[in-house]
Amino acid sequence: MVEQNLSPKPSLASSRKHSSSSQEGNNPVEKRVDQDQITGDIEATAYIPDENASETDYPTGIKLISISASLCLCTLLVALDATILATAIPTITSQFNSLSDVAWYNSALLLTTSAFQIPYARAYTLLSTKYTFLFSVLVFEIGSAVCGAAPNSTALIIGRAVQGVGGAGIFAGCFIIISQTVPLRRRSIFAGLLGAMFGIASVVGPLIGGAFTTGVSWRWCFYINLPLGAIAFAVVWFILPAELGKTPESFKGKRWWEVLYRFDPIGTVLFLGSIISLQLAIQWGGLLYPWSDARVIATLVVFGVLFIIWVLVQWREGDNATVPKDVVTQRSVAGAVLYSMISAGAFTIVVYYMPIWFQAIKGDDAVESGIHQLPIILSFVVFSISAGGLVAAVGYYVPFLILGSILASIGAGLLMTLKPHAATGEWIGYLILFGAGIGMSMEQCNVAIQTVLPQERIPAGTSLAVFARSFGGSLGAAIGQNVFEKRLNENLANVLPNLDKSIVSGSGATNLIANVQAISGGDQGLVGQVLELYNNGITQAFLAALILAAMSLLPALLVEWKNVKKEKRAQDDAKMKNKSKVESGTEEK
């Protein structure tokens, strides 16, 4: 059995004690060098429960439940912040007279969330996992307090940016903590739970935001994070072992600039600059400004130059790089990262444009459209959790990546067929199918990364996957918006050239039917035409989701077939052997 072969072998120790004919045992110089090297390796490595260790070395019972619940709560809070303002923005813009700032209320959060994912990878690699995570929660709480107390629009935007800095560390930290507190074969279950939080947040966020805005104040969209975040902070503080990922012994005696160098400051600055430039281009291009605008072109050029330099720096830095080349060139990691980005883009398009379809085409209000989103979210949550359990049972995660791509593609393709008078059963079935495909597959990317990478590389790989998901979501939103607006404007110009396009494109989704009826004198024929054109624009956005979902099948095929029940990484096996050698050497003395 593979598992038996990977457990620490007593014969390693006994051979050092009883086999006097061993060359290693009779050569004191070789023994001393080997011992020094092993000791140095262990001192420079964070303490983490080894994959080969007994499961009693990991938290269990109420301790594990408390850690998991706090991680789920943190994930839910951060994910909620991406959607909770959707129904509160009209009130905020009225209070601050800041209609021109609307785009920045969400963009500021997305910019910093994406940009700081990779820098956090280095922090989780070199510093205490516990205290790095707590720092992230604290920053997120500070950002929430700033947003809640914001006296003007500028302060709100700054607070959202601070929230993103903390949220970036929370997203990555949750998966990293799971990798350090849960045995490999069970991680898919907990990854599924964390994934379910994303699905829940995408629907309940606008509902909660609307309830707070109507019943109390929009400021409670942020104040609610303070007590709930404090609870999660306290649980992690008292229960999570402090020695997880503790600062390496190699930091001792080092000057401050030598320690700073370990954090790859040049690479961090280059990466932040490149990703912020790219995010600005995505937020501006085709929406605020045409793609040919000098500002959009300039941000794309800056992104390209800085990103190329960053890649060269990472390659040159080797093991000291924020993203070591042995991580990005690993086949399964590359496939999982691409899969995360592409599937997140497809999911974002559907989750963004189904509420618009419900409100503009079906005449729902914000609350009703949120309720009608339940099929996709419930299927996402159910299949995310159940797929995690099945992976733990059968061991293989690649089948769920492949099947997920197929189901999501079919679901997105069926959503393209929606008509203004589509029956309820149609859109419910399509949403369930699409949600099931994304739900069963998305969290398997982190499982794949944690299976193939050595423990000390997991923070870098996990942060890369979380960054890909965040970036893919913002990219998907931009793609969907550009496709929708382009098709809608083309349709209006070709079919209704005399109609003022601003009446349609400038109307909110909930006001579309009323505005068209008002300017047409109640002409139901014109209303029907406009709805058909609007519907066609939305289904074209679903075509973009279909293309992305189908594309995700390619990186799924790139991921290696590994069994989480049997696969143990060679690096961890070597680490256990090294520990056995150290112990046996001590016994000899």
Query: pLDDT tens digits for 80-112?
Result: 888 888 777 767 877 887 666 766 787 788 888
For residues 123-143, average pLDDT: 91
For residues 552-557, average pLDDT: 94
Three-class SS of 145-177: HHHHCCCCHHHHHHHHHHHHHHHHHHHHHHHHH
Query: Which has the minimum average pLDDT: 29-33, 299-303, 350-354, 581-585?
Result: 29-33
Percent of the chain with pLDDT over 70: 78
How distant is the alpha carbon of residue 392 from its chain centre? Answer: 21
**Confidence category of residue 337, pLDDT binned at 50, 70, 90:** very high
- 38 versus 244: which is more confidently predicted? 244
Contact 380, 512 (CB under 8 A): no
Query: Which has the minimum average pLDDT: 47-61, 309-323, 521-535?
Result: 47-61
For residues 61-66, average pLDDT: 85
The whole-number pLDDT of residue 162 equals 95
CA-CA distance, 325 to 4, in Å (whole number)? 32
For residues 213-219, average pLDDT: 86
The whole-number pLDDT of residue 28 equals 37
Question: CA of 200: how far to CAs of 146, 170, 196, 381, in Å?
Answer: 25, 17, 6, 7
Query: Which has the minimum average pLDDT: 326-330, 534-538, 581-585?
Result: 581-585
The one-character DSSP state at 520 is: H
138-148 pLDDT per residue, tens: 999 999 999 99
For residues 340-368, average pLDDT: 85
Angle between helices 524-551 and 458-495 (to 10 degrees): 150
The whole-number pLDDT of residue 10 equals 38
Task: Using the predicted structure, report yes or no on whether residue 39 has a pLDDT greater than 60.
Answer: no
CA-CA distance, 371 to 524, in Å (whole number)? 28
Task: Using the predicted structure, report yes or no on whether residue 18 has a pLDDT greater than 50.
Answer: no
Task: Using the predicted structure, report yes or no on whether residue 33 has a pLDDT greater than 70.
Answer: no
- Indicate the residue type of 547: I
460-486 pLDDT per residue, tens: 888 888 888 888 887 888 888 888 888
Percent of the chain with pLDDT over 90: 26
For residues 14-33, average pLDDT: 39
For residues 144-156, average pLDDT: 93
Q: What b/e sequence results for 266-288 when a residue is b if at least 16 CB atoms lie within 10 Å of its CB, and e otherwise?
A: bbbebbbbbbbbbbbbbbbbbbe
- 124 versus 412: which is more confidently predicted? 412
**Confidence category of residue 29, pLDDT binned at 50, 70, 90:** very low
Task: Using the predicted structure, report yes or no on whether residue 257 has a pLDDT greater than 60.
Answer: yes
CA-CA distance, 46 to 177, in Å (whole number)? 13
Task: Using the predicted structure, report yes or no on whether residue 260 has a pLDDT greater than 80.
Answer: no
User: Is the Cα torsion angle 121, 124, 125, 127 positive or negative in sign?
Assistant: positive
**Confidence category of residue 172, pLDDT binned at 50, 70, 90:** confident
The whole-number pLDDT of residue 331 equals 92
Task: Using the predicted structure, report yes or no on whether residue 407 has a pLDDT greater than 70.
Answer: yes
Render 532-568 in DSSP notation, one character per residue. HHHHHHHHHHHHHHHHHHHHTHHHHHHS---BTTT--
For residues 417-443, average pLDDT: 93
For residues 170-198, average pLDDT: 84
pTM for the whole structure? 0.75
Burial (CB count within 10 angstroms: exposed 0-12, middle 13-18, buried 19+), residue 344:
buried
CA-CA distance, 487 to 221, in Å (whole number)? 34
How many C-beta neighbours within 10 Å does residue 21 have?
A: 7
Contact 359, 580 (CB under 8 A): no
Q: What b/e sequence results for 374-387 when a residue is b if at least 16 CB atoms lie within 10 Å of its CB, and e otherwise?
A: ebbbbbbbbbbbbb
Task: Using the predicted structure, report yes or no on whether residue 20 has a pLDDT greater than 80.
Answer: no
The whole-number pLDDT of residue 588 equals 42
The whole-number pLDDT of residue 524 equals 67
- 568 versus 426: which is more confidently predicted? 426
Question: CA of 521: how far to CAs of 160, 525, 535, in Å?
Answer: 43, 11, 22
Task: Using the predicted structure, report yes or no on whether residue 36 has a pLDDT greater than 70.
Answer: no
Average pLDDT along the chain: 79
